[in-house]
Structure 1
Amino acid sequence: MVKALSFPMMAERQHPLIQPLLTLSDEALIKAFQDERDRGCYFVALYCRYAPLVYSVLQHHGRSPVQVDYLFAKVWHGLFFSLDLVEFTPEGLKVGDEEARSLRNWIVNRTATLIQEELPGIEHITYILQDAPPPLWCYLEASLAYLSPLSRLVLVTTQTFHWSLERVRAYLEVQGETYSLEELNQHLEEGLARIVEYLPPDIRQIYLMPDDPPAVQPTLEELFPNSVEEGGSHVDGAPTASMISSDVTGTTDASIDNLLAEWERILSG
């Protein structure tokens, strides 16, 4: 019996910023992605081109729909943070030490590699594809790098792990950093506001300013796809922390960055 396949809805494909790009070659899209970092439309166009292929490969391996969506997002997350390394050659392309005959083959190889990884149980996966399409998730995470270290820490612990500000304050005090709840709340509000400001304008236009918005728009907090229960012992293994630490420094940034590094180890474990 042939398994019926379904694909995620990609409203992005119909957006006027994306439609003209769908006629460009893979090489042209990637070069534009590498050269014009203030525009996200090129990555979105690549996503629209290859998302059905990736999704169908994942579905063929019999995962649950929740795990398929989770793996689907992880594949695109990995691709997003690797595209800077893509070089086209007469034989195909190179990405660091990897070689492939075409971009399509490279994407399939990346997908196949992730399929072999051990997955968290569906009860631990809270990612919702409709709330956080992979391109939006990737650019939200990239924009974390522009926040101050403390704002990033407060944002990640409260939005990804659903910690209360009281728990964040207690954790920081143990590490020798003392802040009031008012200060932490200020950093949270600043982080939530600025993470959107730091998105490329076209990403905001495509995902956060739709022409026909749904009756209930997801909040920014709902767009963080790796949240886990505050008291849970399992930590989701998605790669959300790869852009949390940065070189932004300040008077207490060294100790804050150490805490961020600890969160990165937890998230990557």
Structure 2
Amino acid sequence: MVKALSFPMMAERQHPLIQPLLTLSDAELIQAFQNQRDRGCYFVALYCRYGPLVYSVLQHHGRSPVQVDYLFAKVWHGLFFSFDLVEFTPEGVKVGDEEARSLRNWIVNRTATLIQEDLPGIEHITYVLQDAPPPLWCYLEASLAYLSPLSRLVLVTTQTFHWSLERLRAYLDLQGETYSLEELHQHLEEGLARIVEYLPPDIRQIYLMPNRMSEDSPAVQPTLEELFPNRVEEVGAHLDSPPGASVGEATETTDSIDNLLAEWERILSG
């Protein structure tokens, strides 16, 4: 029996900022992505072009829908940080030590490699594709890196691990860092505001201002759910990347606490 395939809805494809870009070649999109880092539309266009292909490859592997969505986001997270290295050659493309006949083939190879990795159980995956399209997640994570170390710490611990400010203050006090609840709340509010400001304007327009079609439109403060959708990781785990900007279901297992402490130490070290 032939397995029926389904693909994620990509409302981005219909956005007036994205539609004209879909006629550009892969080389043009990659070069624009590399040279115009203040714009996110080129990555979104590549996502719209190759998202269905990646999703179909993952579905053919026979994973559950929850695991497919998890892997789908993880693939695009990796591509986001790899597109900077893509070079077009007469033979195709070169990305570091990897070579392929085309960008399409290289993306398929990357997807196939990731499929071989061990996956967390379905009960540990909290990622919801509809809530956190991969381009938005990637740019939120990138903008988080621009925050001050303390603001990053407050956002990661309160929004990702659901710690209260009182609990965070107690932890910092044990580390010899004394802050009032008012100071921590100020860092939380400032972090939530700044992380939106650091997003490329076109990413804000595409994902956080869907009813506004002009880049000159005034910014709209998104909800907390829009800023921090469900985490794309196994509970308590950490991908080899900048700190995540997503909400997850934190558990009190030993592994999750160890990973959380390692995250804190990395953030505090600035």
TM range (shorter): 0.7 to 0.9
Unaligned runs of 5+ in 2: 213-221, 245-258
Q: What does 1:110-121 correspond to in 2, within 5 Å? A: 110-121=110-121
Code of the residue aligned with 2:192 in structure 1: it is: L
CA distance in 2: counterparts of 1:53 and 1:265, whole angstroms: 39
Code of the residue aligned with 2:226 in structure 1: it is: L
CA RMSD of aligned residues (A): 2.4
- Per the alignment, residue 243 of structure 2 pairs with 244
Unaligned runs of 5+ in 1: 229-233, 246-258
Q: Runs ≥4 in structure 1, deviation > 4 angstroms?
A: none
Contact map agreement 1:162 1:227 (CA 8 A) in 2: no
C-alpha displacement at 1:264, in angstroms?
7.7
Q: 2:229 aligns with which of 213, 223, 227?
A: 223
- Per the alignment, residue 133 of structure 1 pairs with 133
> Deviations for 1:92-130, whole angstroms, at most 9, x for unmatched residues?
111111111111111111111111111111111111111
CA distance in 1: counterparts of 2:95 and 2:264, whole angstroms: 24
CA distance in 2: counterparts of 1:176 and 1:264, whole angstroms: 14
Q: What does 1:48-87 correspond to in 2, within 5 Å? A: 48-87=48-87
Q: What does 1:1-269 correspond to in 2, within 5 Å? A: 1-211=1-211, 219-226=225-232, 235-237=236-238, 239=239, 242-244=241-243, 262-263=262-263
CA distance in 1: counterparts of 2:20 and 2:186, whole angstroms: 41
C-alpha displacement at 1:173, in angstroms?
2.1
TM-score of the pair, normalised by structure 2: 0.84
CA distance in 2: counterparts of 1:105 and 1:75, whole angstroms: 14
TM-score of the pair, normalised by structure 1: 0.84
Code of the residue aligned with 2:179 in structure 1: it is: Y
CA 1:62/1:260 → structure 2, altered by over 3 Å: closer, same or farther?
closer
CA distance in 1: counterparts of 2:183 and 2:232, whole angstroms: 25
CA 1:73/1:264 → structure 2, altered by over 3 Å: closer, same or farther?
farther
Code of the residue aligned with 1:72 in structure 2: it is: F
CA distance in 1: counterparts of 2:180 and 2:226, whole angstroms: 24
CA distance in 1: counterparts of 2:40 and 2:131, whole angstroms: 18
C-alpha displacement at 1:265, in angstroms?
9.1
Report the count of equivalent residues: 243
Identity of aligned residues (%): 81
